[in-house]
Amino acid sequence: MNMFLRAAPVHPSRILREPLRSLAWASVLAVFVAGLGYVSYRWAGTAGPLVALPGSPWPYLAAWAVLGFGVFLLVRAVAKPLGWDGEEILVLPLMVCIRFTLAYRPGLTLLYTYGLLVLACAAGAVLLWRRHRLPADTAARQH
């Protein structure tokens, strides 16, 4: 047997636990979306119908990074028990939101208020869904 083809055993302390893995993945995707937003801001003057307004894009990119982090965590909380690993599909809608935000520049308090309101409603729906689904899961495991 070739010694290069054999996988080395991984020490248990090196394996990220699921909550840490979810936090890391949501952080990476939020930074990726904010980076894409910055790229779209820099290229906005060269092409496209949505020309960015003058001013710093960083407060808006930070707002969308925070809201995107919450969205990615929420979707991961729903998707992981179902066995679905498709959180990346949310990158495109968040990118469109960033693009419109940088083009029209709404107030930051308005952006945070509506974003957190939507996240709170979605989190409540997820909690109700998981609470409703929990008795069916425990009954299926007992049989």
pLDDT tens digits for range 19-48:
888 889 889 999 999 998 888 887 766 666
Domain assignment present for residue 122? The answer is yes
Domain assignment present for residue 101? The answer is yes
Domain boundaries, position 49: 18-133
Domain assignment present for residue 10? The answer is no
Q: Which residues of 8-28 are buried (b: 16+ CB within 10 A; e: fewer)?
A: eeeeeeeeeeeeeebbebbee
User: What are the phi and psi torsion angles at 107 (to 5°)?
Assistant: -65, 140
Domain assignment present for residue 141? The answer is no
For residue 128, give the H/E element and its range: helix 108-142
Residue type, 61: L
pTM, two decimal places: 0.74
Number of domains in the chain: 1
Question: What is the pLDDT at residue 1?
Answer: 47
Query: Distance between CA atoms of 32 and 139, rounded to whole angstroms?
Result: 40
Domain assignment present for residue 138? The answer is no
